[in-house]
Amino acid sequence: MKKILQTKWIKRFWNFYLKNNFLQTPMKKQIYFVNKDFQFFPELRLLALKAAPANRSHLLRRLNSLGGVKLAILAGIFINSENSRADLLLVGDKLKKARLNNFFSWLESEIGKELNYVVMPTEEFKYRMDMYDRFVRDILEYPHKKLINKLHV
């Protein structure tokens, strides 16, 4: 009975948004996409972005479980900035590749989008900072959030 109620609720939800032109479907198929011309699209997009990837406490726990992360900077999709060069910058030593791959797979599945991320050792990051590397400076100068900052950047 519960599944039937859920299905009815979902159908009502989809029909409401189709009727109000927020969702569109080509030729009445079971494929839906968001109408970017919808009057409240920017507000709903911001709401969804704030809610979806924003479970930062869980993200922080997952980052800490990687071990050795000294700097974690969120940018791009995490702060609703489309002109960022990367979504996530991780700096640390002795980070295991398998754990990183699992972490990024989990994170991409949580967000529902492929991420642009950079992982580098501490020594390379410090060298790039000293050399005023454009990539690192862009990430630090544009809007971002620091989840872990053991390097005091």
Other C-beta atoms lying within 10 Å of the C-beta of residue 59: 20
Amino acid at 144: H
**Beta strand 69-74 pairing with 145-149:** antiparallel
**Domain residues of the chain, as ranges?**
2-39, 56-149
- The Cα–Cα gap between 111 and 113 comes to 5
Burial level of 53, CB count in 10 A (0-12/13-18/19+)? Answer: buried
CATH topology of domain 56-149: Beta Polymerase; domain 2 (3.30.460)
From first to last of the 153 residues of the chain, give the pLDDT tens digit. 344 445 666 677 767 777 777 666 666 666 666 778 878 778 877 776 665 554 778 888 999 999 899 999 999 888 878 788 999 999 999 999 999 999 999 888 887 788 999 999 999 999 999 999 999 999 999 999 999 999 999
User: How many CB atoms lie under 10 A from the CB of residue 76?
Assistant: 23
Q: DSSP class of residue 147?
A: E
